[in-house]
């Protein structure tokens, strides 16, 4: 619909005045979608904190998942490599489970979630363990925390790789496994995965 298109265009153009005007005319627009995503997804991947605040104040849903990847807005921010936005959305109240927290590098949240049963440390979601996701995204602090809690680095990911193999693949391929990240974040992932591979090797992990 035209109003939906206008809203998403205004979000992408970083025009809060236009967004406010459109939402004032039709508050239900906050629930609208474009290509299966919400306006909050677009603001999150655009790293536009002011727009995120505006949309949340208008009733945007933290937990709405896009139609293609089934990701919440915080996941979109992570895919692009906007870690400051990831932390901001979390600080604003976005709930994340252990796998999401590991992928996003939210070490304090990971620490809280692994205080209970060790069984969940090696739980698989979408074919991935929290340790594998933390490695893929280059979060060494989270990797160390999960290993200390009994995470198994020999569990294989959907591509048949161990944690060490994931780390090496990311380091050697210029983070091919996270293709959408910005160059600055890509460099961070490559450096972190190099260190994670060294850490695992130093602990005697060869697989």
Tell me, yes or no, whether 89 and 101 share the same domain. no
CATH number for the domain harbouring residue 91: 1.25.40.20
Domain residues for 158? 96-207
Instruction: Tell me the per-residue pLDDT of 57-114, one tens digit each, with 9 for 90 and over.
Output: 999 999 999 999 899 999 999 999 999 999 999 999 999 999 999 999 999 999 999 9
Segment 122-180, tens digit of pLDDT:
999 999 999 999 999 999 999 999 999 999 999 999 999 999 999 999 999 999 999 99
Judge whether 51 and 16 are in contact, CB under 8 Å.
yes
Three-state DSSP at 128 gives: strand
Q: Are residues 177 and 135 in the same domain?
A: yes
181 and 142 part of one domain: yes
Measured CA to CA in angstroms, residue 94 lies from 2, 138, 143, 195 at distances of: 30, 22, 22, 30
Given 95, 122, 138, the domain boundary residue is: 95
Question: How many Å separate Cα 205 from the centre of its chain?
Answer: 27
Residues 81 and 148 in one domain: no
Instruction: State the total domains in the chain.
Output: 2
Q: Which two tokens stand for residue 185?
A: 């974040």
For position 207, what pLDDT does the model report?
73
Give burial (CB, 10 Å; 0-12/13-18/19+) of 181: buried
Residue 2, pLDDT score: 64
Nearest residue to 71 via CA among 102, 35, 41: 41
C-beta separation of 11 from 42 below 8 A: yes
Structure confidence at residue 1 (pLDDT): 53
What pLDDT score does 115 carry?
85
Last residue within a domain, chosen from 55, 71, 95: 95
């Amino acid at each position: 619909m035209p109003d939906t298109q206008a809203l998403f265009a205004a979000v992408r153009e970083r025009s809060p005045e236009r967004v406010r005007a459109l939402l004032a005319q039709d508050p239900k627009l906050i629930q609208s979608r474009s290509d299966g995503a919400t306006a909050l997804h677009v603001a999150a991947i655009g790293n536009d904190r002011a727009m995120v605040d505006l949309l949340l104040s208008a009733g945007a849903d933290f937990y709405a998942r896009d139609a293609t990847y089934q990701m919440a807005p915080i996941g979109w921010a992570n895919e692009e490599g906007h870690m400051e936005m990831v932390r901001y959305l979390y600080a604003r109240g976005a709930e994340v489970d252990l796998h999401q927290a590991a992928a996003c590098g939210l070490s304090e949240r990971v620490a809280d979630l692994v205080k209970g049963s060790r069984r969940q440390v090696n739980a698989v979601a979408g074919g991935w363990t929290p340790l594998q996701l933390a490695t893929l995204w280059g979060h060494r602090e989270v990797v160390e925390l999960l290993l200390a809690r009994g995470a198994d680095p020999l569990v294989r990911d959907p591509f048949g790789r161990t944690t060490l193999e994931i780390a090496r693949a990311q380091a050697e391929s210029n983070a091919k496994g996270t293709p959408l990240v910005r160059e600055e974040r890509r460099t961070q992932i490559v450096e972190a995965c190099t260190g994670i591979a060294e850490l695992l090797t130093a602990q005697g992990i060869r697989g």
